Amino acid sequence: MGDPAVVKIFDTTLRDGEQSPGATLSTEEKLQVAEQLERLHVDIIEAGFPAASPGDLAAVKEIAGRVRNAAVAGLARANRGDIDAAWDAVRAAEQPVIHVFLATSDIHLQHKLHLSREEAIQHVQSMVAYARSLCPTVEFSAEDATRSDKDYLCSVFETAIKSGATTVNVPDTVGYTFPHEYEALFRDLRERVPGIENVTMSAHCHNDLGMATANTLAAIKGGARQVEVTVNGLGERAGNTALEEVVMTLRTRPDVFGSIDTHINARELLAASQLVSRLTGIPVQPNKAIVGLNAFAHEAGIHQDGMLKNRMTYEIMTPQSVGWSDTNLVLGKHSGRHGLDARLRKLGYKLDAHDLKAAYSRFITLADQKKHISDADLRYIIESSLETPAAI
C-alpha cells in the first residue's frame, strides 16, 4: 500500500484533461507535458486512452518509451480490446499501469451500459483479472461511484481486489458529492471492503459544483493515498481537481494533515501551468489559486502596507515556493503612499515626505483614468513634477 504519509499524485492532464473541449494536443505537445510532469515529480502519468484512437495509442506508446521517473497509465473500458490496446501502449514503460473502469451507478448501468448489477460484477471480475495477467499494476475505477448504491459498491471493490486490482479508485464522476460525504465514503469502504488495506485507495473528483479540491482533500482525510488531478484543473465540463491546489494545501496546512505530503517539486508548478495553458490554448483565470496572474498580486493600500511590513500579513505561502519570482505590488487607484514609495525606490527615486505627497496626488489622478500604471508612467510623473515643481 506504500508509505501512509505519502499521497501519490496521479496526473491525468493528458487523459481527462485532454478530454476538455478544445484541449486536443499533438503527440509532440503531449511529450512536452510529460517531461514537465516528470520535473514536477508526479508519481503516475495517465498518458491517454489508447483504444480511443490510433493517435492516442501512438502518443501513449511514445510517452511510455520516454518517461523514466514516473509510472505511465493507459485507460481502458472493461473489455479485452481496450485492455489489449492499453497494454500495448504502456508495456514499454518502467512502471506500466492499466487503468480499467466500469460504471457502477444504476443510472449508468441501466441507461448507458444496459447491464444488470450482477453482469457488471462479472465484467469486473474477468476484466480486472485479465488486465492483471498482463500487467503487475492494475487500477480499477468504479465510474460514478458517488451515485452508486453503497452496498453494491463494496461488493464491486471486493471483487476487483480479489481479481488482482492494486488500486481502487472512487470517482465523483459528475462532481456531485460533498466533502463530508466523500470522506465518510472512504472511511466506510476502508471498514467494509475485505482486502482494501492491501491496496491503494484513490480519489478522482470533478468540479461541477466547485468542490473538487475540497472533496479530494476530504478523501485524503478519509484514507485516500492517491489523488487523480490535472494541471490548472483542466478537464471534462467544469474540470478535474487542480494538482497545484491539493499539493499546496497539504504543504500549507500541516496542522490539519499532519506529516501527509506528496513527492511534488512545487517550484515547477507555475512552469507546468503555463506550459499546459500555452499548448492547449486554454487561459488560466487571473484569480486562479497558486498559478493565476493575481495569486500573489496586491493592489489595495492597506494590503501593500502590510506586505511591506511583513509578507505573512497577506500571504500564506511564498510566491517563490511555487515558481513565481516575487510578489507583485500592483500600483492602481487602490494603492497607498507606502506602495508608491516602495516602487519609486526600486526605480531609483528617493523622495522626501513633501515630494512623495505631491507625487502621490498626481499618481492617484492618473490611476483614476488608467487601469495599469507602468514604470514609464511613474517616471513621467516624477520627472515632469521635478521640472515643474510649482504644478505639484
Report the partner that residue 343 touches, choosing among Zn ion, ligand KIV, none (CB closer than 5 to 8 A by kind). Answer: none
Determine the angle formed by the axes of helices 150-162 and 179-192, rounding to 10 degrees. Answer: 50
Residue among 75 and 276 whose Cβ is closer to ligand KIV:
75
Distances (CA, A) of 180 to 49, 153, 157, 200, 240: 32, 18, 21, 21, 19
Q: How far is the CB of 176 from Zn ion (least distance, A)?
A: 12
Which CB sits closer to ligand KIV, 101 or 349? 101
Choosing from 8, 9, 10, 16, the residue that interacts with Zn ion (CB under 5 A) is 16
Nearest residue (CB) to ligand KIV, 88 versus 208: 208
| C-beta closer to ligand KIV: residue 148 or 173 | 173
Coil/strand/helix, residue 195 = coil
In sequence order, which residues have a C-beta less than 8 Å from that of residue 79 and are 6 or more positions away?
123, 127
Instruction: Choose between 16 and 305: whose C-beta lies nearer to ligand KIV.
Output: 16
What residue ranges bind ligand KIV (CB under 6 A)? Answer: 16, 101, 141, 143, 169, 171, 173, 204, 206
Axis-axis angle for helices 337-346, 353-369 (nearest 10): 100
Nearer to ligand KIV (CB atom), residue 139 or residue 268: 139
Identity of the residue, 153 or 266, whose beta carbon is nearer to Zn ion in the bound complex: 153
Q: Taking CB within 5 to 8 Å according to partner kind, which of ligand KIV, Zn ion, none is near residue 143? A: ligand KIV
Alpha-carbon gap, residue 143 to 170, rounded angstroms: 7
Select from Zn ion, ligand KIV, none the partner in contact with residue 304, using the beta carbon and a kind-dependent cut-off of 5 to 8 Å: none
| Of residues 91, 29, 81, the one with CA closest to residue 280 | 29
- The least CB distance from residue 379 to ligand KIV, in Å, is 53
CA distance 313 to 318: 12
Q: Decide which of Zn ion, ligand KIV, none touches 244; Cβ closer than 5 to 8 Å per partner kind.
A: none
Residues 6 or more apart from 304 whose CB is under 8 A from it? Answer: 298, 329, 335, 336, 338, 339, 342
Pick what 20 binds: Zn ion, ligand KIV, none; C-beta below 5 to 8 Å, kind-dependent: none
Q: How far is the CB of 235 from ligand KIV (least distance, A)?
A: 8
CB 177 to Zn ion: min, Å: 13
Of all residues in the shown chain, the one whose CB is closest to Zn ion is 16
Smallest separation (angstroms) from Zn ion to the CB of 16: 4
Integer Cα distance of 165 and 127 in angstroms: 10
Q: Which of ligand KIV, Zn ion, none sits in contact with 101, Cβ below 5 to 8 A by type?
A: ligand KIV
Cell of 370: 488608467
The tally of CA atoms less than 13 A away on the side-chain side of residue 376 is: 1
* 64 alpha-carbon distance from chain centroid: 22
Q: How far is the CB of 324 from ligand KIV (least distance, A)?
A: 31
- Is-contact 264 309, C-beta < 8 A? no
CA dihedral over 208, 209, 212, 215, signed as positive or negative: negative
**Placement of cell 497545484 in the chain:** 244
Shortest Cβ 275–Zn ion spacing (Å): 22
Which one, 16 or 183, has the nearer CB to Zn ion? Answer: 16
Total of chain residues touching Zn ion, rule CB under 5 A: 1
- Min CB(238)–ligand KIV separation in Å: 12
Contacting residues toward Zn ion, per CB under 5 A: 16
